[in-house]
Amino acid sequence: MSDFYQTGVIATFHRLGRDNTGRLEEELSWYGHERPIALILPSLYSELEGDALNVILRELGTAGYIREVVVTLGPASEEEFICAREYFSVLPQKTSIIWNTGPRVNDICRVIEDAGLPIGEYGKGRAAWMAYGYVLSRQEFHAVALHDCDILTYSRNMLARLCYPVINPNLDYDFCKGYYSRVTDRLYGRVTRLLVTPLFRTLQRILGDHQLLVFFDSFRYPLAGEFSMDVNLAKVNKVAGDWGLEIGVLAEVYRNTSARRVCQVDIAENYDHKHQDLSADDAAKGLNKMGIDICKAIFRTLASEGIVFSEAFFKTLMATYSITAQDMLKRYEDDAAVNNLFFDRHQESLAVEIFTKGIKKASEIITEDPLGVPLISSWDRVISAIPDILSMIRSAVEDDNQGPFGPVSHRPGCHNRRAHGKDGRAF
């Protein structure tokens, strides 16, 4: 059972008392008639062969309040796209697969680029952005929810709690962010624990209680990939195309709605998904690259708020961050001791050192190029430049999904694996 303490400038909804999934789902089904929900699943083809997605599909099979599931597929060949269509066809909801590297979607991307609008590189950000465009093209949804496809501890309760604050008209929030603890025999979530939160606190010590920093620091797990939001936010938000995606989402929410209409909800007693390597020796991989991208996103967002950076500022920032992160590391070590968890102080300290170098690297990049790679254009901007773009997206996705399956299970490269229910049968 969680605490019920409210902190920061956004509402926090805790996990209190017994499981109430049934009641939440019943209300979501009722409200969903007038306020339909589309669930977006960014997925790599490789995740179709993992255990996590099999469980996710089994749980989604009972989520009748979801009107449509939109799977936005990472780089995939035609063979892999066809296999993905077959794999996700077990879901009872209407399910659409976006073939982001297919010729139809690529043609749309070229049209947008020819209009002088940035669409970013292939990645989760661009995949989610294209899914928003497709959902908007349907003109029937009140809200979208999004979560990853590698959640090993997934349950339908997680999705119900994520959707409820946005769908229930008596709550009527514009944006809801999921949060959770990441604990097994040890503490995980190193980037949040040892970089993002200490960096927010450090920036507040230097800059004072800047409203944006207070907003960021109000989130218990700012890097969580699970959220729901009103479709109007999906229309006006720009999207980051790198590991700064989650910080970029929060920055756009801050700009485009009121903090009173933003909340976070405890969606899981524990959460486990694939863990990234620290990659201490390679700044282009793993948590090392993630940290640099996140720092760049934070610095550029603050610069857009009028904060002026200098070489002296960044030197002070790195020195203050290092002390703040080490102080918080001691707290986590003591927390682990109280809960009889394994804690590797050397590895945790190494992570702080790597993140400190990441801050330095990000500051050098920001100093040299304050604007950097532009964010992916918001859909309202794209629509204003290309008025028929949404109908083009809808036609492309529907045409891709209406093609013949063929003998999928016998095609070379298809893993011939389907999601199954608890009784072993396909849905």
Residue 274's pLDDT band, with cuts at 50, 70 and 90, is low
As a residue count, the chain comes to 427
DSSP for residue 12: E
CA 15 to chain centre: 21
Residue 11's pLDDT band, with cuts at 50, 70 and 90, is very high
Average pLDDT (40-52) is 94
d(CA 297, CA 71): 26
Above 80 in pLDDT, residue 422?
Answer: no
Bridge partners of 183, per DSSP, are: 187
What pLDDT score does 409 carry? 42
Q: What percent of the chain has pLDDT over 90?
A: 78
Average pLDDT (166-192) is 93
Task: Report the amino acid identity of residue 344.
Answer: D
Above 80 in pLDDT, residue 92?
Answer: yes
Nearest to 274 by CA among 38, 29, 50: 50
Average pLDDT (167-191) is 93
What pLDDT score does 284 carry? 75
What pLDDT score does 148 carry? 93
Residue 52's pLDDT band, with cuts at 50, 70 and 90, is very high
Helix (H) or strand (E) holding 177: strand 175-180
d(CA 236, CA 254): 12
CATH number among 1.10.155, 3.30.1370, 3.40.50, 3.90.550, domain 17-172+379-406: 3.90.550
More confident residue, 164 or 275: 164
What pLDDT score does 163 carry? 98
Nearest to 67 by CA among 37, 91, 46, 31: 37
Per-residue pLDDT tens for 224-255? 999 999 999 999 999 987 778 899 999 999 99
More confident residue, 271 or 292: 292
Contacts for 422 with CB less than 8 Å, ≥ 6 apart: 58
Per-residue pLDDT tens for 397-413? 999 999 664 444 444 44
Above 80 in pLDDT, residue 417?
Answer: no
Q: Is 277 helix (H, G, I), strand (E, B) or coil?
A: coil
Residue 395's pLDDT band, with cuts at 50, 70 and 90, is very high
Helix (H) or strand (E) holding 86: helix 78-88
Q: Are 280 and 354 in contact (CB under 8 A)?
A: yes
What pLDDT score does 393 carry? 98
d(CA 378, CA 425): 42
- Where along the chain do the CATH 3.90.550 domains lie? 17-172+379-406
